[in-house]
Amino acid sequence: MFTLKSNIKIIHFVALLSVFNFLFFHYPFFKFVFQNLDYSSFNGITIIISLIILMLVLNAFMFYLIFSLSQYVGKFLMVLFFIINSISVYFINTYGVILDESMIGNVLNTKFEELSSFFSFKLILYLFFFGIIPSICIVKAKILTVAWKKFLITISLTLLFLLSLIFANASNWLWIDKNSKTLGGLAMPWSYTVNISLFYVHQYKSNQKEILLPNATLKDNQKSVVVLVIGESARSQNFSLYGYDKNTNPLLSKIPNVAHFNATSCATYTTAGVKGILSHSDSGDLYEILPNYLFRNNVEVVWRTTNWGEPPVHIKNYQKRQDLLSQCKGKGCEYDELLLTGLKEQIQAIKNNKVLIVLHTSSSHGPSYSKKYPSKFENFKPVCNSVELGNCSQAELINAYDNTILYTDYLLFKVIEDLKQLKEYQSALIFVSDHGESLGEKNLYMHGLPLSLAPKEQYEIPFIVWTSDGSRQLKPNKLVSQYYVFHSVLNFLGVQSPIYDEKMNIFKQ
């Protein structure tokens, strides 16, 4: 970047940092710009040139402020920025993600074992060349500071220039505002620094004490059980029940009383998707979620999970992977089949007449789709075994993903078989996914794009229902949402509540 042994003026140093930050980390930003305006027109050229100048000057200005206040803090932050930038750009280039607030939440709620599945040699190259080498240069640099008077003159003139540039582009504000969320999610390092702050501010607000819903009553003593299976990254178009040309549902397709609805998710990432499934309405407030509400109103609730990202669950019987492993035997214990361990026996041991079981799966989460199912379910071949999904053919990628759907079909079949043996219960299974998944369409992978920008693959989800013989019939709804789960479960279990909405109930009275 510069001669390590020579002294360098602070203004030259931050200018170099800004240039290298621009060159190393802003290809995705300007790729989006070129794809979304007419770059051959005078107005398009004006926007591009203005954005380049704005980015270079604004970043240099911010770096200048930081280093003028403290060189030690400045070097620490610049090293941190270049390291995180290199990792961020790898994920943006490899998976087509945008680092908006929702994606930041997705990252911060992902556990280490899931993060480790993204490890690749290409990631190491990004980290080494774009992160570590520049960081060494930053640490070794000998920077000459300036007097406060010159500092104040410099920032004043720079601010004046930036304001002039912004107002000179007043005619382009509408385009920038329209695309601000994506542009902000691709601008390094501010995409993650700003959105991490926003995430924790909003999380603090949402983690305040939940708003209790009105008290409910049970209208009968009929023994009833609902098993709610929350899918992970399952998109409806790859289920043969929805017309997919591959037979990914060989078991469910042969079971009587299985129905499916067209459905959409309220978000494209796990935390918001699961919250939507458990909530009574589309509200930004933290209202009491379904398991907490039912448990408080005398329904027995069991939560089993191999995943994470749900809102706070306040029930007595909450079982994670490690809690279930001691009871499980066989190779299936390494996968979501673990959730079915002793499930029927657990339900039979419950003395309460009203039971909700929640199984929170992880079976279709990328990028390692081929590791989400036992080998005997690898029916569709060849499969993608790389975490760098762009290195696989789309056919290999889809084959691996389809095998996870085939495995999900088996898991749901096993749950239904258990419920069939509970003759004394009226039983229902509801399977709904937290969100969908992109598999290379439009060069996008996985999920997490803002809902306003996301393709249908990321929000069109399966909503599959089975009911025991003679229990309930279903309404002929054409389209439902995740919020239908809350009211449908209340209806099936005979829970009367002032919050109940018949319009969002899938069962006939």
Query: Judging by DSSP bridges, how do beta strands 426-433 and 460-467 pair with one another?
Result: antiparallel
Delimit the domains of the chain by residue range. Answer: 7-205, 223-504
Kindly give, in sequence order, each residue whose CB lies less than 8 Å from that of residue 291, ignoring residues fewer than 6 positions away. Answer: 278, 301, 303, 313, 314, 315, 356, 358
DSSP-assigned states of every residue in 175-219: HHHHTHHHHHHHSTTHHHHHHHHHHHHHHHHHTSPPBPPPP-EE-
Contact 466, 413 (CB under 8 A): no
- Whether a cis peptide bond, with omega within 30° of 0, leads into 189 is yes
Q: Can you give the pLDDT at residue 114?
A: 66
Which tokens in the block code for residue 295? 């448990």
* Count of beta carbons in the 10 Å neighbourhood of residue 157: 10
Contact 430, 490 (CB under 8 A): no
Q: Can you give the pLDDT at residue 173?
A: 67
Q: Can you give the pLDDT at residue 247?
A: 97
pLDDT in tens, the chain (509 residues): 544 556 899 999 999 999 999 999 999 999 989 988 888 888 788 889 999 999 999 999 999 999 998 999 999 999 999 999 999 999 888 888 888 777 777 777 666 666 666 778 889 999 999 999 999 999 999 988 888 888 899 989 999 998 888 878 776 766 776 677 788 889 999 888 988 887 777 666 655 678 899 999 999 999 999 999 999 999 999 999 999 999 999 999 999 999 999 999 999 888 889 999 999 998 877 889 999 999 999 999 999 999 888 888 999 999 998 889 988 888 889 999 999 999 999 999 999 999 999 999 998 988 889 999 999 999 999 999 987 787 789 999 999 999 999 999 999 999 999 999 999 999 999 999 999 999 989 888 888 888 888 899 999 999 999 999 988 899 988 899 999 999 999 999 999 999 999 999 999 87
User: What is the rounded CA–CA span in Å between residue 114 and residue 67?
Assistant: 36
Q: Can you give the pLDDT at residue 95?
A: 83
- What's the length of the chain? 509
Token pair 């003139």 is at which residue? Answer: 157
Contact 230, 277 (CB under 8 A): yes
Burial bucket for residue 271 (CB in 10 Å: 0-12, 13-18, 19+)? buried
Burial bucket for residue 320 (CB in 10 Å: 0-12, 13-18, 19+)? middle
Which tokens in the block code for residue 337? 């089949």
Q: In a 3-state reduction of DSSP, which class is residue 508? A: coil
Choose the CATH number for 223-504 among 3.90.1150.10, 3.40.50.300, 3.40.720.10, 2.60.40.2140.
3.40.720.10
* Closest to 236 measured CA to CA, from 227, 248, 226, 228: 248
Q: Can you give the pLDDT at residue 202?
A: 66
Kindly give, in sequence order, each residue whose CB lies less than 8 Å from that of residue 42, ignoring residues fewer than 6 positions away. Answer: none
Which tokens in the block code for residue 206? 């949402």
Q: Can you give the pLDDT at residue 14?
A: 94
User: What is the rounded CA–CA span in Å between residue 355 and residue 378?
Assistant: 34
Angle at 384 between CA 381 and CA 387, to 5 degrees: 165
User: What is the rounded CA–CA span in Å between residue 399 and residue 383?
Assistant: 5
Q: Can you give the pLDDT at residue 375?
A: 92
- Whether a cis peptide bond, with omega within 30° of 0, leads into 291 is no
* Closest to 270 measured CA to CA, from 365, 199, 368: 365
Q: Please report, in angstroms and rounded to a whole number, the separation of the first and last CA atoms in the chain.
A: 72
